[in-house]
A and B are shown apart, each in its own frame.
Chain A
Amino acid sequence: MSPMILTAAALAACTVLAAGAVLLPDWAMFLVTMALAKGLVSLGIVGMMRGGLVSFGQGLFYCLGAYMAAMVTNVFGVADIVLISVVAMLATGAAGAALGPLLATYRGIFFAMLSLALSMVLYGTFAKMSSIGGTDGLTVLTPTFLGWAPEGLALQTALYAFTGFVTVVAGVLMRIYFNSERGLITLAIRANELRVEYLGASVRNAMAWNYLFGAMLGGLGGAIAAMSLGHVDPEFAFWTTSGEFVFVAILAGYLSVPAVFLAAIILELVRSFSNLYFPNTWQIFLGAFLLAVIFLLPRGLGSLIERKRTGDKE
């Protein structure tokens, strides 16, 4: 993807999101904000999927980022959304940098289960810690935007706009990374680790970097979700939350960045409406939807968006 196409795609995404700020009703704006925040977490999983690994424990970073947002506002009285987001990303980045080299030595189901186990350890720990609210969690103060403190609909719109902006920036950066030499090597790892090692590259190093980026995106998504909801609790790290992120990543596939956010929005819509109309059986609809995607689009929604590869028999 050339810089010109990437810029055009980013501008198009900004235009669509800006139109959403005007056209979407309150509830939909909140839904899209949450979907984009969760999409950021799933984008991190997609980064790992490109190297052949799937983390079932991104709830770890989602939760850490959310609690960082809560702690920064409650303990230090900082309410600026930019500062909170940066702190959350740095904190989860540090955690990812510490855990990445360990996890990157594992493959397949071992990597998935170990990452899941770590997130469940965090869930159990936070649920037992009364100093941070235990299972009740913490309240997150209303964020400000570079000194501006909107309320009501203005707050909702500002959160939506900030999330949209962050999503576009993160999407562009990840696309650049995916297209980079490192990104190409990650795709090669997915196909043949042995070859990559025998070319002289470290598979472990490459996957540790992907894990680090996934951690930072997870933290960012968690912080935004926490500020949107105004509350965090240990459920952010529960395995069902991590499962949602994997669901979105599978729905999107590893080919396209916009597909990740589209998949996140679709999931939120399907869940919201099926929950509304079929409150006791909505999970069945969600499951059927995922099955349909797996059978009809085995490479995910991204295979519809991404330009067909030369020589590919899609």
Chain B
Amino acid sequence: MSIPILTATGVNKSFGAITAAENVSVSVPEGAIFSLIGTNGAGKTTFVNMVTGYITPDSGSIKLRDREITGIGPRGITRLGIHRSFQIAQLCNDLTVEENMLVALAINAKEPPSFFGSGRSSAARKRARETLERFQIERYANMLIPELSGGVKKLLDIAMAMAGDTEIMLLDEPTSGVAADEKFPLMDLVIGVLREKGVTVLFVEHDMDVVTRYSERVLAFYAGRIIADDAPDEVLSDADVRRYVTGAPA
């Protein structure tokens, strides 16, 4: 394992009387693929939200390599290369698939977005089509978002999130709302692209088949705490994980 790209140390977060994160400590090596499992309300998404700046921890530290990133907002975190997708795909419903991609590429281009240069220039559209093609959704380019299936929305959400120089990708339930027979093809595609680019991945997932197939390491959350942190087979056979997370007989 190489040096940690992401380190969380003693992170705590409460919402009133509810403890969403309690002394959460994680060390993620560069290029690794981690999955986050746990029942609803266990603290998985809270952890993702804290890493991506949507909420600020009450205490503790989150570092990108040796840089403290605790308290930086979503935009600043994104600019540092920590990108995310959402449980419910966050897309611009009034725009077409291609226009959504054009927005993502314009924001993440080396030059700041132009006041005069066309947002739909042939060069920009070519780049957008290439990205869409990479995620195998190029044929939907002219469709509006409400016309798309859950799987295509998820892929577009992830494709947009990866428009910049992604170092860490956090996928919040990438297969939720996706038809059962589309889950593995979707994950094959997404993980394939992310591996190809050497991106470190943390994904929240409820489907244990997906977890065991794609992750190198699993973090099991329960009541805001990490109750297991190990290889998939080890975690899924852990007595506490079976009792509190998977519900499998001990």
**A interface list, Cβ under 8 A from B:** 176-177, 179-185, 187-188, 190-192, 194-202, 209, 309-312
Nearest 8 CB-CB pairs, A to B?
Answer: A184-B119, A191-B92, A181-B113, A181-B106, A200-B78, A195-B90, A181-B119, A188-B103
Contact A182 to B113, CB < 8 A, known contacts A187-B92, A201-B75, A201-B107: yes
Question: CB < 8 Å: which of B106, B116, B142, B160 contacts A310?
Answer: B142
- The segment from B56-64, B93-101, B193-201, B242-250 found at the interface with A is B93-101
Find chain B residues with CB under 8 A from A195 CB. Answer: 90-92, 160
Find chain B residues with CB under 8 A from A200 CB. Answer: 75, 78-79, 107-108, 164
Scoring A185, A196, A198, A311 by chain B CB atoms within 10 A of each residue's CB, the highest score goes to A198
Find chain A residues with CB under 8 A from B78 CB. Answer: 197-200
Question: How many B residues touch A, CB cutoff 8 Å?
Answer: 41
A-B contact pairs, 17 of them (CB 8 A): A180-B116, A182-B113, A185-B106, A187-B94, A187-B99, A188-B95, A191-B92, A191-B95, A195-B91, A195-B92, A198-B74, A199-B103, A199-B161, A199-B164, A200-B79, A309-B96, A311-B96
- Complex Cα distance A159/B147, Å? 49
Please tell me if the beta carbons of A185 and B142 are within 8 angstroms of each other in the complex: no
Find chain B residues with CB under 8 A from A197 CB. Answer: 73-75, 78
Find chain B residues with CB under 8 A from A201 CB. Answer: 75, 107, 113
Please tell me if the beta carbons of B119 and A179 are within 8 angstroms of each other in the complex: yes
B133 nearest CB across to chain A (Å): 18
- Complex Cα distance A180/B106, Å? 10
Please tell me if the beta carbons of B114 and A182 are within 8 angstroms of each other in the complex: yes
Closest B residue, CB atoms, query A203 = B75
Contact with A along B112-125 (1 / 0, CB 8 A): 01111111100010
Please tell me if the beta carbons of A194 and B102 are within 8 angstroms of each other in the complex: no
Closest A residue, CB atoms, query B163 = A199
Q: Tell me which residues from 59 to 88 in chain B have a Cβ below 8 Å from any Cβ of chain A.
A: 73-75, 78-79, 83-84
Find chain A residues with CB under 8 A from B227 CB. Answer: none
Please tell me if the beta carbons of A185 and B103 are within 8 angstroms of each other in the complex: yes
Please tell me if the beta carbons of B107 and A191 are within 8 angstroms of each other in the complex: no
Q: Tell me which residues from 114 to 153 in chain B have a Cβ below 8 Å from any Cβ of chain A.
A: 114-120, 124, 142-144, 147
Q: Tell me which residues from 174 to 214 in chain B have a Cβ below 8 Å from any Cβ of chain A.
A: none
Please tell me if the beta carbons of A177 and B116 are within 8 angstroms of each other in the complex: yes
Find chain B residues with CB under 8 A from A179 CB. Answer: 118-120
Please tell me if the beta carbons of B107 and A312 are within 8 angstroms of each other in the complex: no
B155 nearest CB across to chain A (Å): 15
B111 nearest CB across to chain A (Å): 9
Contact A180 to B118, CB < 8 A, known contacts A197-B74, A199-B103, A311-B144: yes
Closest A residue, CB atoms, query B143 = A311
Find chain A residues with CB under 8 A from B91 CB. Answer: 191-192, 195
